[in-house]
Amino acid sequence: MSRQPFFYDITLRDGNQSLKKPWNIKEKVEVFRLLTELGIPAIEVGFPASSEMDFEAVKRLAEISPDNVTISGLARTVEHDILRAVEAIQPAKKPRLHTFIAMSPFNMKYVLNKSPEEVQKTAIEAVTFAKSKLGKNADIEFSAEHFGDCMENLDFVIDSFQKVVKAGATTINLPNTVERTRVRTFVEMVEKVYNALPKDINISVHCHNDLGMATAATVESFFAGAVQLETALNGLGERAGNTNFYEVAVALHNSGVDVPIDFSKIYETALIISDMAKVAIYDKAPLVGPEALAHRSGIHQDGAVKTKDMQKGAYRAIHPSLIGRKDDEKLGVTSQSGKTAVYEIISRAGYPITLQEAGRITPFIKEAAEKEGELSNKELLDIYFQQVFDVKGSFHILDLEKIKENDYVLHFTFKNETFHIEGKGNGPIDACLNALKSAGFEQKLIHYEQKAMDDDTMGSGASAMTVIKMEAPNGKVIIARGLDESTAIANVKAIFNALNIIEKIS
C-alpha cells in the first residue's frame, strides 16, 4: 500500500497534562529529542495558554525544531489562547495552530451551555482569527472535541467541518475524547467525514483508550480515510490514555503499510518514557511489556523454540529486533511447561542435555513448580544436577577399588544390603558391569562415551564426564551421565545413575 500514515504525536500535550508531575522544559526537550529520533513528523508540543511554563516550552521547542517537523500548539477557540499559541509556535519552520471546541450534543448542552449554532459560529470565528494571524499558508487543525459522541448530530458536525475548512482549517481532527462504544461505530463516522470533505483536507483521528480499543480504532480509521494519526508514546494521556504509538505503528507495518518511522528505537524509547513519566509499563503491555515475549505453556514453548530464529514466530506478533528489543523470547518454567523449555533453558545455560533427558526430568520440575510457582534458572539447574548426575534410587555406589590391572572390587549398596564384589574386565566400566552381573544385576550397555572437559564447564570442579546408553529390561534405551574428577569414578557413577533411572521407569 503506497498511502503512508502521518503520525502526529501528543505525548507532550495530552500525555504531559495527565502526568502527576508534568514535565519541565528540560524534560520536554528530552522527550522531543526522542520523538524526532523516532522520525515522527508532527508534534503537538503543548498548550501555551495553560501556563507560563508550557508557553516557554512550546516556544523553546519551536525554536529548536528541525525543518521537517511540524510543531503544533493547542488553543481553545478563544482569542487569548490563539494569540498565545501563535506567539509560541511562530519560531518553528513548520508551525501549526490546533484549536478545538466540543460538538457533541451532551457537551454543548451540559458543559459549554451553548447552542449548536453558537458553537459552530465560535469554531468558524476561531479558525478565521487564527488564519488572520498566521497568514495565507497557515497550517490550522480544527478538532470537534467529543466527535465520538456525535452520532446523532453528525450532519451538523460535518456541516461545521465544511465551514471551518472554508475558513482556513487544513486538518480536521476527529477525537474519540471518551471511548464509550464500538470501534466500528467510530470508524463509520470517520468514513462519513472523509467522504464529505475535499480530498486535500488532512483527516485525523485522536482516540482515547477508555475501553482499551484505541489502537483498533486508530488503525481501522486509517483504512477508512484518516491519514493523520494522533498517538502518544507509551499510550500516555488523560485517564486510560491515548492511542499507543508503538502499537499502531507495528499493527500498520504488519498489515503491509509503509510506516516511515525508525522502529528500532521503539523499545528503548518506551523504557525511557516510562521512567520519565513515572508510569510503569505493565507486565502484559503489548510489544514492550516485560511479559510480552514470555511463554509458559508447553505447547507455546515448543512452537516458540522451533521458530525462534525465524522472522515470523509461532507465538509472537513480531520479531523482537523490529522494535530494537534484544532480550530473547523468555521461557518461564511452571507446572504448565514442557520438555522443550527445559531442554532449551538448560542448553542455553551451557549444560549438556538431550531432549530425552529433558523429558525424563520434566515431571520433577513440574512437581517443584506446582509448589513454588515459576522456577528460577538456578532452581531448574539444581533439579537438573540432581536428576541427571545424582539420580537417587535403590543403588548407591560406595567405591570402585582397584586391586591390580583389570581387577577391581565394587563396593555398593542395594536397598539396605551392602555388596563388595570383585569384577575383572578391560577397564573400570567393564569390571564394574561384570561385578554387577556377579551380584545378579546384569546390565546391557549399548553406548559409552567419555567427555573430557578442560574448563570448569559444570561449575563443580569435575573434569570427566561419562555418557552412556543402557537398554532397560523393557527394551527402552536410556541415557545416563556420570561426573567426577576421576574418569574411572565418572564411569561408575554413570552406571549407577543408569541403574536408578531404569529402576524408576521399569
**Chain contacts with ligand KIV (rule: CB under 6 A):** 14, 100, 143, 145, 173, 175, 177, 206, 208
H helical segments located in 50-115 = 52-64, 79-89, 105-107
Nearer to ligand KIV, 143 or 337 (CB): 143
Nearer to ligand KIV, 217 or 400 (CB): 217
Cβ atoms of residues 263 and 229 within 8 Å:
no
Least spacing, CB of residue 125 vs ligand KIV, in Å: 18
CB of 46 to ligand KIV, least distance (A): 12
Question: From Zn ion, ligand KIV, none, which one binds at residue 145 (CB under 5 to 8 Å depending on kind)?
Answer: ligand KIV
Which alpha helices (DSSP H) does 373-440 contain, by range?
Answer: 377-389, 428-438
Tell me which residue has its CB nearest to ligand KIV: 175
d(CA 405, CA 394): 29
Question: Which entry of ligand KIV, Zn ion, none binds 141, CB below 5 to 8 A by partner kind?
Answer: none
> Cβ of residue 65: shortest distance to Zn ion, in angstroms?
22
Question: Could you say which of Zn ion, ligand KIV, none residue 143 binds, taking C-beta under 5 to 8 angstroms by partner kind?
Answer: ligand KIV
Closest-approach residue to Zn ion (CB): 14
Cell numbers found for residue 345: 533453558
Q: Between the CA of residue 403 and those of 118, 172, 431, 438, what are the distances in Å?
A: 110, 96, 11, 17
Whole-number minimum distance, CB 96 to ligand KIV, in Å? 13
Which amino acid is present at 296? Answer: R
CA distances to 59, 197, 358, 403 from 126, in Å: 21, 19, 71, 105
Smaller CB distance to Zn ion: residue 106 or 392?
106
Residue 100 interacts with, from Zn ion, ligand KIV, none (CB under 5-8 Å by kind)? ligand KIV
Q: Whose Cβ is closer to ligand KIV: residue 177's or residue 340's?
A: 177
CA distance 25 to 31: 10
Among ligand KIV, Zn ion, none, the one that 389 touches (CB under a kind-dependent 5 to 8 A) is none
Q: What angle do CA 369, 330, 363 make, to 5 degrees?
A: 30
> Which of Zn ion, ligand KIV, none is residue 76 near (CB under 5 to 8 Å by kind)?
none
Q: What is the closest distance, in whole angstroms, from the C-beta atom of residue 86 to ligand KIV in the complex?
A: 17
Summarize as ranges the residues that interact with Zn ion (CB under 5 A): 14
Sign of CA dihedral 63, 64, 67, 72: negative
378: number of Cβ within 10 Å: 8
Is the Cβ of residue 14 or residue 344 nearer to Zn ion in the bound state?
A: 14
| Shortest distance (Å) from residue 68 CB to ligand KIV | 24
Rounded CA-CA distance 81/448 in Å is 84
To ligand KIV, the closest distance from the beta carbon of 277 in angstroms equals 17
Length of the chain: 506
How distant, in Å, are the alpha carbons of 3, 227, 400 from that of 220?
Answer: 14, 11, 74
Instruction: Name which of 129 and 419 has its Cβ closer to ligand KIV.
Output: 129
Nearest to ligand KIV of 141, 302 (CB atom): 141
- The least distance separating Zn ion from the CB of residue 47, rounded to whole angstroms, comes to 11
Grid coordinates standing for 298? 508447553
7 versus 395: smaller Cβ distance to Zn ion: 7
